[in-house]
Amino acid sequence: MKKPFAVVLASVLLSSALVSCGANEETGEGTDLKATITVLTNRTDVVSSLFEKDYNEAFHKEYPGITVKYESFTDYAGTVKTRMSTEDYGDVLLIPGGTPISELPDFFEPLGDYDEMSEKYGYLVGATYDGKVYGLPTYASVNGIVYNKKVFHEAGVTSLPKTPEEFMQALQKIKNNTSAVPYYTNYAAEWPLNGWASMIYSISGDANYKDKMVSDSSPFSPGKPYYIAYKMLYDTVKAQLVEKDPITSDWEKSKQMMADGEIGVLPLGSWAITQIKALSDTPDDIQFMPFPYTLDGKQYSLAGQDYYMAINKHSKNKKSARAYLDWFIEKSGYSDFCGGINAVKGTPFPEDLKSFEATGVEILTEQPAAKEIEGMFSKIDKASEVGIDSTGAVAKRIVESALGNTNESYDDIMNDINKRWAQGIKDVMGE
């Protein structure tokens, strides 16, 4: 579809204005660097307080000649991906989710060699391509389920579920014995449904499970991790252990409901703990548990990055941008603020994850894929249009089926995406 000339002209003028705004060049070396840099962020909630006040004050003490300006976006990925069609997308930015690793060199400045940087930093795999690192994790979080301890107690759930069967029993007790919603889907927002997809690591006990999928033409078949994980979602919705009308669910509302003891569980990364605790009068009720799956007597959870922070390869202030990036990751305290795990190896787990750690769960960390399949999972996911890697579309389809809003069964859905995945492998790998 062609855009009206006025819209195109406005876009061109906006791009020109943005480029001119970021055209200054830096001078100096080390802490004597002088420049004005622009940092793009998704944290619209704290940019005017934490970032522009606290962080700028602390950073300016170390680098008095660098002025930091922030731009924040509610639809961060969508907005920044559009900006990346030009050369103006800030100096420092978060790599938008779903960016194929093979495209990292097209947009971002290499930060160093993986072998060298991995000695100091963890969780680098998602921003590494061809042996080069293009981003550092703002923090890492672990996969699992946020739950309300008080709701569990009132429901009569005396121990954390370790199997899908025990999980369903716990949710049923919450429904029978309390007024809380056992599981809140957040269907309308879609992305929270991705929590179920991350369960594949707990089921397989393999942080690099996705690497196996590039040669598996039926990864959504019975008995395999994705099938098991999504079947839990389907069964939970089918048993009406969810909110009355998932279509009108509300993400911000769900956080307050969980904080107030009106929800039992939310399958999310541990990053959500601090956000929910901040809304609660009884923050100790907000706890985190491993996914309810036990493999050979052990439970597993993947520790993975939130956003990766990177440098625009077109930036005219790369030294200043790198100074800010390193300071933010290592000294700002942002990982603590988010209740996350610092990317610097050896940093202790945050306080909010102590009880999670005490369950004995084994933490998995992804390793680089073999050279011959590097980046292949994302390419197959994109070619197949399954959308596992970037959206909650599959999970949303499953919820629709379980609600009875469509005529397809759970196995119909799995068979369909199996076929599309197999075709994606052929299209990408020529097999």
Q: Considering only CA atoms, which of 273, 292, 302 is closest in space to residue 233?
A: 292
Residue 2: predicted pLDDT: 35
Q: Supply the mean pLDDT for the chain.
A: 92
Average the pLDDT over 77-95 and give the result.
96
Residue 10: predicted pLDDT: 40
Residue 391: predicted pLDDT: 65
Residue 283: predicted pLDDT: 97
Beta-strand ranges (E) seen in 294-394 are 300-305, 308-311, 362-364
Position 144 confidence tier, pLDDT thresholds 50, 70, 90 = very high
User: Tens digits of per-residue pLDDT, 264-321?
Assistant: 999 999 999 999 999 999 999 999 999 999 999 999 999 988 899 999 999 999 999 9
Full-prediction pTM beyond 0.75? yes
**Strand 132-133 to 181-183 pairing:** unpaired
Residue 431: predicted pLDDT: 60
Average the pLDDT over 116-121 and give the result.
96
Domain boundaries, the chain: 25-137+307-358, 143-299
Average the pLDDT over 407-412 and give the result.
97
Residue 8: predicted pLDDT: 39
As a whole number of Å, the end-to-end CA separation of the chain is 34
User: Fold identical between 25-137+307-358 and 143-299?
Assistant: yes
User: Tens digits of per-residue pLDDT, 176-224?
Assistant: 999 999 999 999 999 899 899 999 999 999 999 999 999 999 999 999 9
Q: Indicate if the pLDDT at residue 19 is higher than 60.
A: no
Distances (CA, A) of 209 to 39, 192, 197, 212, 382: 34, 21, 12, 6, 18
Q: If one looks up domain 25-137+307-358 in CATH, what number appears?
A: 3.40.190.10
**Strand 132-133 to 128-129 pairing:** antiparallel
Position 34 confidence tier, pLDDT thresholds 50, 70, 90 = very high
CB 19 within 8 A of CB 38: no
Strand-pair partners of 41: 72
Average the pLDDT over 232-248 and give the result.
96
Topology adopted by domain 143-299: D-Maltodextrin-Binding Protein; domain 2 (3.40.190)
